Amino acid sequence: MKTSPSASPKTVDEYLASIPEPARTTIKKVRASTRAAAPAETTEGISWRMPMFKYKGMLLRLAAFSNHCSVFPGPAVIATLKGFHTSKGTIQFPVDKSLSTALVKKIVKARIAENEQRKRK
């Protein structure tokens, strides 16, 4: 169950304001790592009631839940990761432990490559 209220957030800042600590700080760290790894033209918004980064298509979504936080980079990236709690399209991690900057960079770069490959076809 999501920790955010039932009203749909209109901005990433509204989303962040709606989630409790320590999940808020954790999501902010992943957001900052994503921004640092993504090209300058990357945009942020809300999609499926979650923060989303977009560059030539969706890069990833972030979400906080009552017992964990998640990054949704898609199944192709998930298949390359070892040692994380994953499902078909998400990486789950503790609300009080952010993903490493290096891992977020790897995810973002992989998603950029996927999106650019798709655009070339």
Looking at the domain assignment, is residue 90 inside a domain? yes
Q: Report which of residues 7 and 102 the model is more confident about.
A: 102
Q: What is the pLDDT of residues 78-113, one digit of tens each?
A: 988 888 888 888 999 999 999 999 999 999 999 999
Looking at the domain assignment, is residue 100 inside a domain? yes
DSSP state of 21: T
Q: Provide the whole-model pTM.
A: 0.88
The pLDDT score that the predictor gives to residue 1 is 37
CATH code of the domain in which 69 resides: 3.90.1150.200
Looking at the domain assignment, is residue 1 inside a domain? no
Q: What is the pLDDT of residues 10-57, one digit of tens each?
A: 999 999 999 999 999 999 999 999 999 999 999 999 999 999 999 999
Looking at the domain assignment, is residue 4 inside a domain? no
Question: What is the residue range of 109's domain?
Answer: 12-120
Asked if residue 20 has a cis previous peptide bond (ω within 30° of 0), the answer is no
State how many domains the chain has: 1
Q: Report in angstroms the alpha-carbon separations of 14 from 4, 49, 50, 83, 104.
A: 10, 11, 10, 32, 23
Q: Report in angstroms the alpha-carbon separations of 29 from 49, 69, 77, 91.
A: 19, 12, 20, 15
